[in-house]
Structure 1
Amino acid sequence: MVADLTWREGQGCSSQQIEPAVVLNNYWRAYEATRPNYAEDNFLNIVYDYHSSKESTSFTIAHDVGCGSGVGASELATRFENVVASDNNASSLDAAHRFLVPTPDSKDRDKFTFTLCKGEELTDHHEPQSADLVAAAECLPLMDGSAALTAFSTILKPGGTLAIWFYARPHFSEPEYASTCQPIFDRILDCIFFKLINGHGSKRTEGWKKAAEGCISWLDYLDFFEKASEWEKVVRRKWNNKSTQNTFFTPAACDFKLEPISKITAEEEVIEVEDPSMWERSRWK
């Protein structure tokens, strides 16, 4: 189903009707303010350079899966002729539409299309071999990894690129603060998440466990070679994975045990970098 998110002219309404929209708008502004500014660092150059290194590379269509408010799609649009923004949450997709196409006469209004669907169900809405690049930021641990990878592989053109990235809670990079402030910060987050994670039934616990183990595994749980010939090459990059945790909380926030999972095969390339200053802009290598 393609969401009908055409621009709607403002209509008169009471202050009671306006308030929820204002609150939602403020939420998305705060959300966008805390996301990386892809325009000011060169993180995505890693993706662009990798994509450009292949034969018959095209920068025609990029697909931002789990697009949220459209931060990633906005950056992809600087390099690709057309960008598809998809999300399974209508509120997120509506926010992306407002961010990417703020008015009916926005100059980029024809550059973006929007799809309301799960990442695992992209093949129900998009033709096989239709995308040059699929980007999935901050969303894979919430999906069925196997089904999602199959969907991504199906809609990618031969030689296309899948770029998945994930980052979690902040870590203090200075040694003196890492040993003193980090434990305090972690306990605050654990206190918040403990109430969200535990005591809400087995189904919810199962969902949290799956997502948390995917994160704590640094996405190594993703099995790219589960299905033969689905992927030609896999490169896994990790920054500071020896000194930090790639989760929004520590195992102490869970009343169940977290087990890291690795599906890395000998055919894959793994690049690990320890660089406490990597958070500084323009330092991605």
Structure 2
Amino acid sequence: MHRIRDRSQLLVRGINPQHQLTPASASNLRKPPQRTLTAISHHRSWEVSPNIDATDYWNEYLLTRPTYPASFYNQIYDYHASASPSSTAPTFTVAHDIGAGPGHVALALSHRFPHVNVSDIDPRHLTYARNLHSSSSTSPSQFTYTLTRAEHLATSFPPASADLIISALMFPLLPSPAAALRSIHPVLKPHGAGTLAIAFYGLPHFSDPALAAECQPLLDGIVDRLYRAVIQRGPAAQRAGFKREADAVASWLDCLAFPAGEWRAVERYKWNRGWARLGFFSGWAGGFVVESPVSRVRWGLEKVVEVEDRELWRRDWDVRELRRFVGALVPVEGVEGFEDAGAWRMLEGVMGMGVKRAFSWPVVLVLAKRW
């Protein structure tokens, strides 16, 4: 395992300023109405509830979530461009954004790839992504929108048609990540020319260790109570989905298997594992024991790098901005009523009223090339 203490050892050449991926309409958000809490899908741990205005939700999501910096994409692009003597020279022609959500990752990919396939399981997400792309400087002809699951990718796209397939945040939420990998594999170009990138990040963490000691447990508790209100009201199949997610994330995606006969040059990067929790919620919130699955890392054959960087994806927020992030975590109606006002007051008392504090993120990125 490679351990990097100084983030300067992982800087990527050629970093350019990243576009701000926020829709213009996000500046005039309506306050969502109070609603009664209802269950979402019986099998998925996360989706935008049918009774939620998806446009309002994704506007808020893009305003509150971290912006992937140029270095994030450049690390993926540099990995994709690398080739061993036995591999086919990679090209930058077609990329896929699977589980695209609002389409912000697809938009970033379009600055490097002439064509981007955008796929999701919810037509509302594809509509939002199309509108986001049409309001940008990109050409509409650069994008194709497809309603499909990651597990069905091979039936929706031609074999060996994609240079890069990226999944941001989605993989731990799938009922069967292994089935998704089997379906993704044939769509990628073979002989080391096709790259898969899987990324996931968790809750923001207070960057200052002294402040984190007092504040992070309060924030974790607030988020736990929010998730508990959702998870424990759902049916058994849905709770099982949340447990699958929690277990996979607890392993920092080491549970994902990349068989040697199908994948090569696997690299696993983990930022801030030593001091931050990757999971959005604990076992207490789910009413189950979080169990890290058996590691599928092929030690000696895969590159594993752990980096500690308390400035990673830095955001400076006061309590109001932090509370807005938490409010956009779970797209299920009625969750506003489950906020812990007392915990927020305690958190503001420590952070200071209107005082901005630095936050960083736990992040995992898995890269692999198809044989």
Aligned position for 2:285: 253
Aligned position for 2:153: 122
Aligned position for 2:96: 63
Q: Is the 8 A contact 1:61 1:130 kept in 2?
A: yes
Aligned position for 1:75: 108
Identity of aligned residues (%): 41
Compute the displacement of 1:31 (Å).
1.2
Q: Which of 218, 221, 228 does residue 187 from structure 1 map onto?
A: 221
Alpha-carbon distance in 1 for matches of 2:173, 2:312: 26
* Structure 2 CA distance for partners of 1:222 and 1:22, relative to 1, 3 Å: closer
1:235-258 deviation digits (Å, cap 9, x = unpaired) = 000001111111111232121101
Alpha-carbon distance in 2 for matches of 1:242, 1:77: 34
Question: What SS does the aligned partner of 2:292 have?
Answer: coil
Residue 53 (structure 1) aligned with residue 82 (structure 2): yes
**Structure 2 unmatched ranges of 5 or more:** 1-49, 316-362, 364-371
Q: Is the 8 A contact 1:150 1:230 kept in 2?
A: no
Compute the displacement of 1:64 (Å).
0.3
Q: Is the 8 A contact 1:64 1:136 kept in 2?
A: yes
Question: What SS does the aligned partner of 1:258 have?
Answer: coil
Aligned position for 1:95: 128
Question: What SS does the aligned partner of 1:209 have?
Answer: helix
Question: What SS does the aligned partner of 1:234 have?
Answer: strand
Q: Which of 56, 59, 63 does residue 33 from structure 1 map onto?
A: 63
Aligned position for 1:272: 306
Letter in 2 for 1:210: R
Q: Which of 267, 281, 298 does residue 235 from structure 1 map onto?
A: 267
Question: What SS does the aligned partner of 1:165 have?
Answer: strand
Question: What SS does the aligned partner of 1:43 have?
Answer: helix
Question: What SS does the aligned partner of 1:244 have?
Answer: coil
Q: Which of 221, 239, 246 does residue 205 from structure 1 map onto?
A: 239
* Structure 2 CA distance for partners of 1:72 and 1:200, relative to 1, 3 Å: same
TM-score, reference length from structure 1? 0.85
Q: How many residues align?
A: 258
Letter in 1 for 2:304: V
Alpha-carbon distance in 2 for matches of 1:131, 1:34: 31
Alpha-carbon distance in 1 for matches of 2:138, 2:106: 15
1:157-206 deviation digits (Å, cap 9, x = unpaired) = 01211001000111111011110000000110011101111243321221
Alpha-carbon distance in 1 for matches of 2:254, 2:231: 23
Q: Is the 8 A contact 2:66 2:313 kept in 1?
A: no
Aligned position for 1:13: none
Alpha-carbon distance in 1 for matches of 2:52, 2:298: 49
Compute the displacement of 1:21 (Å).
11
* Structure 2 CA distance for partners of 1:22 and 1:197, relative to 1, 3 Å: closer
Large movers: runs of 4+ above 4 Å: 20-23
Compute the displacement of 1:275 (Å).
1.6
Alpha-carbon distance in 2 for matches of 1:194, 1:107: 41
Letter in 1 for 2:140: R
Aligned position for 1:136: 167
Letter in 2 for 1:111: Q
Alpha-carbon distance in 1 for matches of 2:147, 2:65: 22
Compute the displacement of 1:279 (Å).
2.6
Q: Is the 8 A contact 2:172 2:249 kept in 1?
A: yes
1:12-31 deviation digits (Å, cap 9, x = unpaired) = xxxxxxxx999543222111
Alpha-carbon distance in 2 for matches of 1:44, 1:92: 22
Alpha-carbon distance in 2 for matches of 1:209, 1:115: 29
Letter in 2 for 1:45: N
Alpha-carbon distance in 1 for matches of 2:313, 2:140: 33
Letter in 2 for 1:136: S
Alpha-carbon distance in 1 for matches of 2:226, 2:144: 36
CA RMSD of aligned residues (A): 2.2
**Structure 1 unmatched ranges of 5 or more:** 1-19
Alpha-carbon distance in 2 for matches of 1:84, 1:21: 27
Question: What SS does the aligned partner of 1:220 have?
Answer: coil
Letter in 1 for 2:57: Y
* Structure 2 CA distance for partners of 1:42 and 1:107, relative to 1, 3 Å: closer
Compute the displacement of 1:37 (Å).
2.7
Aligned position for 1:222: 256
Aligned position for 1:170: 204
Q: Which of 25, 33, 42 does residue 71 from structure 2 map onto?
A: 42
